[in-house]
Amino acid sequence: MAKNFLAAVNDVLKRTSIIQGDAGELTTFTSTERQVDVDIAKAVWNDMIQHIYSLDDQFPEGSREGRFTLATNTREYDLDTEFEMMAIDEIRTETKGHIIIPYKGGFSQMWADQPDPADYTGQPRYYVINPDTGLLRLDTTPTSTENGDIYRYFYIRTLSMSATTDTFPFSDTVVECLTAGVAQLFLAERKKEFNEPIFDLSVNRALRYLRRKKIRRKYGVHG
């Protein structure tokens, strides 16, 4: 069973001596006596997740595949609910070999270039993210000819954890490697103590499993 967010928070609180043993484990994220500690432990776990993925954008565990199907006279499409940003710029059809890429200049340029969007129809070649709706907007409006074309895209999903049952975007081994580093982030915020060698070793070990190859030694947050 994959380790959930509650278990990982408990691990950090044990490592920092906030709780002792199984009897002291949290069962929810509500704790009258230790609420500040709980909230900080949750926050620094999320900080670590963001940090670990900021070091390299090639981790397959950090991306997901999404799909949308062209429909006649429909120019904008929903993205997956966990969508944060594109992991790969190209979006491809499953079978027809069509590719759409980001519109040069983004949404504002597309808006300027197409004063009457209705003039642009047919097979799309470019896309943008509409900043108002959050939808994926194509440079053309599909017709009945393009209707039904399925496009695949890869995206970085939202990596924020909040619920007790949330599971991590990587293996339990990586979670266990990161626990010591997260504990250092906790101590830095709660007690103004920080052991950088322990933090570096923790991140180093985690990245080794994520990348499945040797990496450089230092990945500290302070330089």
pTM: 0.64
Q: Are 194 and 205 contained in the same domain?
A: yes
Q: Are 68 and 149 contained in the same domain?
A: yes
Place of tokens 């947050």: 221
User: In the listed set 116, 135, 157, which residue is the last one of a domain according to the structure?
Assistant: 157
Q: Is there a domain that residue 86 lies in?
A: yes
Residue 146 confidence (pLDDT): 96
Q: Is there a domain that residue 217 lies in?
A: no
Q: Are 116 and 153 contained in the same domain?
A: yes
Structural domains counted in the chain: 2
Q: Is there a domain that residue 220 lies in?
A: no
Q: Is there a domain that residue 54 lies in?
A: yes
Instruction: Say how many residues make up the chain.
Output: 223
Q: Are 84 and 137 contained in the same domain?
A: yes
Residue 64, strand partner residues: 155
Q: Is there a domain that residue 187 lies in?
A: yes
- List the domain range (segments joined by +) for residue 143: 61-157
Q: For residues 125 and 142, give the distance between their C-alpha atoms in angstroms, rounded to a whole number.
A: 11
Q: Are 72 and 120 contained in the same domain?
A: yes
Mean pLDDT by 10 residues, the chain (223 residues): 90 94 88 93 94 69 84 97 87 93 97 96 97 96 97 85 90 94 97 96 91 52 46
Phi, psi for residue 141 in degrees, rounded to 5: -100, 120
Q: Are 75 and 118 contained in the same domain?
A: yes
- Minimal CA–CA distance to 118: which of 142, 150, 148? 142
Residue 218 confidence (pLDDT): 46
How far is CA 79 from its chain centroid? 14
Q: Is there a domain that residue 100 lies in?
A: yes
